[in-house]
Structure 1
Amino acid sequence: MKPAPASTYAAAHAASLANPAGFWAEQAQAIQWDTQPMQPLAFEKGLYRWFKGGRLNTCYLCLDYHVANGRAEQVALIQDSPVTNTVRRFTYRELLDLTARFAGGLRDLGVSHGDRVIIYMPNVPEAVVAMLACARLGAVHSVVFGGFAPHELAVRINDAQPKVIISASGGIEIDKIIPYKPLVDAAIEQASHKPAHVVVLQRDALAQRVHAHMQPGRDVDYQALLRAEPAACVPVAATDPLYILYTSGTTGKPKGVVRDNGGHAVALRYSMSAIYGVQPGETFWAASDIGWAVGHSYIVYGPLLHGCSSVLYEGKPVRTPDAGAFWRVIQEHGVSVLFTAPTAIRAIKKEDPEGLLRKHYNLGSLRHLFLAGERCDPATYEWAGAHLGVPVVDHWWQTESGWPMLATMVGLADMPAPRAGSAGHPVPGYDVQILDEAGQPVPAGTTGLVAVHLPLPPGCLPTLWHDDERFRQSYLSTFPGYYLSGDGGYQDAEGYLYIMGRVDDVINVAGHRLSTGEMEELLAAHSAVAECAVLGIACELRGQRPVGLVVLKDGQTIGEAQLETELVQRIREKIGAVACFRQVLVVKRLPKTRSGKILRKTMRQLADGEAFSTPSTIDDPAILDEIKAAMAQRGMGRAFEQTADLVPAPSA
C-alpha cells in the first residue's frame, strides 16, 4: 500500500469534484485489494456504487496487514475503564489472534458471508473483537447501543434478522449496573425473528453483582468461542455491506444505514491522515461508544486501518472520578488527537469552570481537539482552546455520511484556520451547498438548507438496509441531484460553513425565521451558563416564540431573575425585539441522548402538549419529568396554560 500524495486543501477539493472517480481511484491505492476495482464509480438503478468489481476484507486491512508489515508488537487497542478500574492493552498480534479465534467460533455457529449478527455490548475490547470477527467472515454486524429497551432491540432484530446476537452480562453507568441479558431475552421474546444463538460475555468485573442466565441449547459463553480454530479472512465485494447502523426515522421505524466495505475502507484511511493529521503508530482517542457512528469509524475501523493505537474508554468525562478524567487518559496513553462531543467539554466546564484539574496533567502529546456530534457554541470552543492550549477543530458529519463532511483538515497544506462557530470547509468529495426551499443556492450569509451535490463520496451510505425506495425518499427526493442533510446553516463570504442545527430548530416568530442555534450561542457566552437549549414553543399571537433552558456552572450563585434579565437583554441587543425572547428557565440538567445530543424537539413537544414517544436513545428518562415540573411551575408552554407573555413585543 502506498500513501496518497500530499496536496493542498484547495487542490484536493477541486480535484475531487472535477473528477470524483479519478480522485478516489488514486486514494484507493492506499489500501490492499484482493482484486482491484474495475470501475471506481458506477451508477445503477438510480444509485451510486463505489469500487465495483473490487474485492477485499476489512478485518485483513485492520489487523493481518499490520502484523505482516512490522506492527505486530505495536499496541492496537487500549481499554481504559475507570468504572471497573481496568486498563488493558492489546498488540496488533494479540488482537488478530483473538479476532481470528472468535471468528472461528462464529463460523462454527453457522455464521458465514452475508449473515447478520447483532452486537449489544458495552465499551469493552470483546465488542471490538466481535465487530472485526464479523468483518473477517464477511458477515454483516449491527451494533445496538447497550442498554436499549427490549422493544427497540426487538425492532432491530426483526429488521436485520440476525443469525446470532452477541451480548454481555451487563454494563456500567457510573453508579449503577445495567444487566443486559434480561433485556436481550425480553427482546427476543417480543421479536418475530428468533436468532439461532446468543453469545454472552460474563464480565469478570461484574461477577459479584450480575450474572447472565444461560438458556441451554441457544446461549453460548463468549469464552467458549475463543477455543475454536482460527478463521481465515473471506474476501468480499467492495459493494457488500460491512455493517448496518440504525438511526431514528420519522415514521417510528428506524432506518438501517448501510456501510459498504470498499468505500468505507478508502474513506476512513484517507480521513485519518488528511482530516485528523495522525500518523501510523500514534494514539488516537475517540471518546465515544461503539454503538454510535463515531465509535464505528474512529474507535474501531479508522485507527486500525491506519495503523494507530486506539483508546476504548468506558467512563464519562466527569464523575469517573472527576472532571480531570479526560486529561488523565491523554497523559497516561500519550494521546495525539482527541475527538469528543461538545457536550463532554461542557460537562467538564460545568464542574471545573476554571480548568484547575487540567493543570494536574501533562498534555504535551496532544496536538488537536476535534469536536462533533452537535453544534459547538463559541463559548465552549474558546474555553477548550484556552485551557488545552491546542487548536480546537469543530467539524460536522452524520451517521449517514460515516465520516466528516465539513472540517478543518489539519493534514492538508494551506487549509484555512479553524474559526469559532464554524464547522470549517467541505472535505474533498463533498460538494456542500446552502439551498433555499426551491432548491436554489442562497447568497453568502443567508441561512438555508444544507445539501450535498451528488455523487456522495466513498464511505457514505449507498442505501438503507433492504429499502432503496426509502433511501431515495428520505434523502434524495426533495432536490433532485442532491443529498438533503436535514440540517440548516449558512456560508460566510470567506467560505466558512456554519451548521445551526436541524431544520426544525429554525423557528417562525411572527413571520420571521430565526435560528435557535444562534440564540443558544448568545446564552452560552454568559459567564454563569454551562450549557443551554432554546426551544421554539407554540404561541397564539406569533406562531412560535423562543424560550431558554439553562444549566449553571458549578459554584454559580446568580439569581434566576437576574440571569433571566441579563440573557433576555443579550438576545434583544444581538437579534432584536423581533425574537420575542422573554423567558429563561434554570434547570439542573438537560435531557440528552446517550451520544450527548440535547433532545430539543422532545422538550418542545412537551411544552406544546403534543403527543410524543420518549426517544429510545435518551440517557435518563427521569430528566423529562424534571423538565415538565419546572415548565409547569413557570407556566412555560401551551401545555401548562401559559398566558402571561401573550402580549405584543415592544418595538425594537
Structure 2
Amino acid sequence: MTATTRAPAAAPASRYWDVYAAWKADPQTFWGEAAKGLDWFEQPKTVFDEKLGVYGRWFPDGVCNTCYNAIDRHVAAGRGDQDAIIYDSPVTGTKDRITYAQLQHKVATFAAVLAEFGVGKGDRVIVYMPMIPEAAIAMYACARLGAIHSVVFGGFASKELATRINDAKPKLIVTASCGIEPNRVVPYKPLLDEAINLAAHKPETCIVFARPQATAKLTEGRDYDWASEVAKAEAAGKKADCVPVKATDPLYILYTSGTTGIPKGVVRDNGGHMVALHWTMSNLYGIKPGEVYWAASDVGWVVGHSYIVYAPLLAGCTTIIYEGKPVGTPDAGAFWRVVSEYKVAALFTAPTAFRAIKKEDPDAKLLADYDVKCMHTLFLAGERADPDTVMWAERILGVPVVDHWWQTETGWAIAGNPVGLGLLPIKPGSPTVAMPGYDVQVVDEACHPVAVNKMGSIVIKLPLPPGCLPTLWQQDDRFDDSYLHEFPGYYKTADAGFVDEDGYLYIMGRTDDIINVAGHRLSTGGMEEVLASHPAVAECAVIGIKDELKGEVPCGFVVLKAGVTKKPIDIENEIVKLVRDKIGPVAAFKIAITVNRLPKTRSGKILRGTMKKIADGDNWTMPATIDDPGILDEIAEQMKSHGVGA
C-alpha cells in the first residue's frame, strides 16, 4: 500500500494534495524551485544526478555555504538586530539573547580561532558540548570554514566517545568544562581526557569553554581556553569569511544513538540539507521569518541539529536553546513559562516530555499561571505519540497537536501534517501523510505492497529526497547493506505500520517490536495505545518476551500518574482485562508490571530492546545513551517480582 494515494473525502481546503502531486509528477522542478529560496555562490544547474554516489546526489554542481545562508544573508537583508538565539538555562539561572549581527560576529571570530589551529575545508571537528549557545557557535564556525562537525552528546561515556574519535578522526575537539543536570554537575574534561587516552586517533587540539560550575584542567600544548583564544582573535581583528563548498560536500557527521564498535556515522550534505530544512519551516511547520520557534531537544541529537541550530535560522526565525527539563526545573510548568516568556509560535518536543508533564500535573493546573496563546501548534516526534497523550495535550492547550515521523538518517520529516499548506484532519495515532520527496510504501517480506490497513514493513522508494543521508561516513558498502539491500530499489526504515483507506500512515513500532504470538503478528505499539488509555497510566511500554509455547508473549510496563491512590496490583489486573477486551485473547496479554519510571535514552526514547534482553535472561550491556543507569536494576527487580527474567 502506498501512503497519500488520495485525499479523504472530507479533507478541508489544504494545498497538500496538489503540492504532493506536483512533486511526484516532476521532482526535479519541485526541488529546483525550492533551491531558489536560498543564496548560492553558484546556482545549481543540475538538480539531481542519479549516476553519482550510492543512489544519486542532489544539486551536484551547486556551490554554497550553510553558515552564510543561516546568518550572513539575514544580516545583509537588514535582520541584524533580530534575535537569532534565545538562551534559557533554568539549571544555572542564566538567560541571554543573541542577535543575528552578534551571532555573525561570534561565529566569524570563533571560525578564525579554528583556522588559527589549522582547521580548514574537509577537516573534522568533534563538538562535545552542553546546551549552551557556544555549541551552536562552534557548529556554525565549522560550517563557515567548510569543516565537518560531529556533535557528540555532552557527557557521553568515554569509551563511546573514543569510538567516534577513531571514526571521524577530528583535527580538533571543542568542549566545555561541564554540563549541568538538575541535581548534579557533570565534568566533561575527565571524560574527554579518558576518551582521547582510549582512542587510537589523537586530536591535535582541544578548545575548552570554561563554565563557572566546574574547572577544567588543561593539558599543556593540546588544550586551550575558549575565552582567551577568542579575546586574542578579537584583539587582532581576525574574522573568517564563509568558504564556498560543493552542495555535495559534508556539513556534518552524526552517529546514530546506541551504536558501539564501528559506529554508523550519518552524513549530511550542505546543499540538499539547507534546501530541505528551509522548505519545511514554512510548509510543514507554518512558521514565518521573525517568529520564535522552539525545538525542546539537544544539539547532540538530530532534532537539535535540524530544528534548534539550522532550520530556524535558515528561515530567518528566532530559535531557543533551553538548558533544562520538562519537569523538575523547577516543575511541570517549565515549558509553559518558556512559551509564555518568549512568545513561542510553535513548540516541537518528544511525546515522552508531555507524558512526563502529564504524570506530574495530570490536570495541567500549572498551565493556568502562564499565557500561552502565542503558540499556534505543538509538534511531537522522536517516539510514537500515543493517542491518549495527543488528546490530552490538545485538550489542555486548545491547539492542533501534530505528530510527525522521521529518523536521524532522514534529517527531516518523512510524514507529517503540513501546517503551512493547510492542516489536514488529525487522526490521533497517525503522523498523517508522506511529505513531498518521500514515496512511502508498506510492503511484505518479498517487497510486495500489502493491502489497506494491513501491517508491513515501511519503505521509501529511491531516491531519497534532499536532506537525507547520501551515505554513511566512509562506509558506502555498509550503507547499502544496512538500508538498501533488503528491499531493492527502496530505503528500509526498519519501522512497521500500515496505511489506512485515506492514505494516512500509522507507525506501530520498529520492525523488531512486532512480536509473533503463536503465529499472529501483533504490534506492541497497538497494545501501548490500550495501556495508555487507562486513566491511571502516565506512560507505558510493551515488549515481547520469550515463551516456550507461543514463541513470544507481550509484557506491559506502566508508570502511574502522580496522586493515584489505587493499589498497583488492581491497576495491573484492570490493564490485563483492558487489553483482552480491546485487542482480544489473541494478544495473550497476561503480564502488567507497575514501575516507578522507564529506562530511556537522553533523547527520551524508551530502551525496549534492553528491557527485552533482561526479561529474556539474555546477556546485555549498559546502553551508552541511557539517561539514568541505575534504573535498569530497578526494572530487573520489578520484573523478578512478577516472575519475569528470574
What TM-score range do you get, normalising by the shorter chain? over 0.9
Deviation at 1:249, TM superposition (A): 7.0
1:375 to 372, 380, 384: 384
Match of 1:76 in 2: 84
Match of 1:33 in 2: 40
Is the contact made by 2:293 and 2:347 (CA closer than 8 Å) also made in structure 1? yes
Match of 1:281 in 2: 290
Sort the Cα spacing of 1:419 and 1:316 in 2 relative to 1 into closer, same or farther, 3 A: same
Q: Aligned runs of 1:49-198 on 2, under 5 Å?
A: 49-198=57-206
CA distance in 2, matches of 1:442, 1:613: 37
| Partner secondary structure for residue 206 of structure 2 | strand
**Is 1:223 the counterpart of 2:227 in the alignment?**
yes
Q: Aligned runs of 1:85-484 on 2, under 5 Å?
A: 85-204=93-212, 206=213, 210-227=214-231, 228=233, 229-248=238-257, 252-413=261-422, 415-484=423-492
Match of 1:648 in 2: none
| Partner secondary structure for residue 136 of structure 2 | helix
CA deviation string 1:109-128 (max 9, x = no partner): 00000000000000000111
CA distance in 2, matches of 1:251, 1:198: 24
Sort the Cα spacing of 1:584 and 1:497 in 2 relative to 1 into closer, same or farther, 3 A: same
CA deviation string 1:394-438 (max 9, x = no partner): 00000000000100000003x422210001100011001111111
| Partner secondary structure for residue 102 of structure 1 | helix
Deviation at 1:632, TM superposition (A): 1.2
| Partner secondary structure for residue 142 of structure 2 | helix
Supply the AA of the counterpart residue of 1:455: P
Ranges in structure 1 where 5+ consecutive residues have no aligned partner: 1-5, 641-652
Match of 1:586 in 2: 594
Match of 2:511 in 1: 503
**Is 1:13 the counterpart of 2:20 in the alignment?**
yes
Task: Report percent identity of matched pairs.
Answer: 58
Is the contact made by 2:14 and 2:424 (CA closer than 8 Å) also made in structure 1? no
| Partner secondary structure for residue 346 of structure 2 | strand
| Partner secondary structure for residue 257 of structure 1 | strand
CA deviation string 1:339-377 (max 9, x = no partner): 000000000000000000011100011000000000000
Supply the AA of the counterpart residue of 1:218: R
Deviation at 1:18, TM superposition (A): 2.0
Is the contact made by 1:119 and 1:141 (CA closer than 8 Å) also made in structure 2? yes
| Partner secondary structure for residue 22 of structure 1 | helix
Deviation at 1:250, TM superposition (A): 7.0
CA distance in 2, matches of 1:416, 1:437: 31
**Is 1:627 the counterpart of 2:631 in the alignment?**
no
2:562 to 539, 542, 554: 554
Supply the AA of the counterpart residue of 1:8: R
Supply the AA of the counterpart residue of 1:20: P
Deviation at 1:45, TM superposition (A): 4.9
Report how many aligned residue pairs link the two structures: 628
CA deviation string 1:143-174 (max 9, x = no partner): 00001110000000000000000000000111
CA deviation string 1:566-600 (max 9, x = no partner): 11111111111111101111110000000000001
**Is 1:42 the counterpart of 2:49 in the alignment?**
yes
Deviation at 1:7, TM superposition (A): 8.5
CA deviation string 1:428-484 (max 9, x = no partner): 110011111110111110011111011111000000001111111110111111001
CA distance in 2, matches of 1:416, 1:130: 39
Match of 1:650 in 2: none
The TM-score, its normalising length taken from structure 2, stands at 0.96
Is the contact made by 2:161 and 2:195 (CA closer than 8 Å) also made in structure 1? yes
The TM-score, its normalising length taken from structure 1, stands at 0.95
RMSD of the alignment, in Å?
Answer: 1.1
Supply the AA of the counterpart residue of 2:622: T
Match of 2:536 in 1: 528
Ranges in structure 2 where 5+ consecutive residues have no aligned partner: 1-12
Deviation at 1:242, TM superposition (A): 0.1
Match of 2:5 in 1: none
CA distance in 2, matches of 1:31, 1:528: 49
Supply the AA of the counterpart residue of 1:461: L
Deviation at 1:253, TM superposition (A): 2.8
Which structure would you say has the larger RCO, counting Cα contacts within 8 Å and 6 or more residues apart? 2
CA distance in 2, matches of 1:280, 1:418: 26
Deviation at 1:561, TM superposition (A): 2.0
CA distance in 1, matches of 2:261, 2:447: 27
Match of 1:647 in 2: none
**Is 1:618 the counterpart of 2:622 in the alignment?**
no
Is the contact made by 1:249 and 1:255 (CA closer than 8 Å) also made in structure 2? no
Is the contact made by 1:396 and 1:423 (CA closer than 8 Å) also made in structure 2? yes
CA distance in 2, matches of 1:148, 1:428: 35
CA distance in 2, matches of 1:272, 1:579: 41
| Partner secondary structure for residue 107 of structure 2 | helix
CA distance in 2, matches of 1:395, 1:96: 32
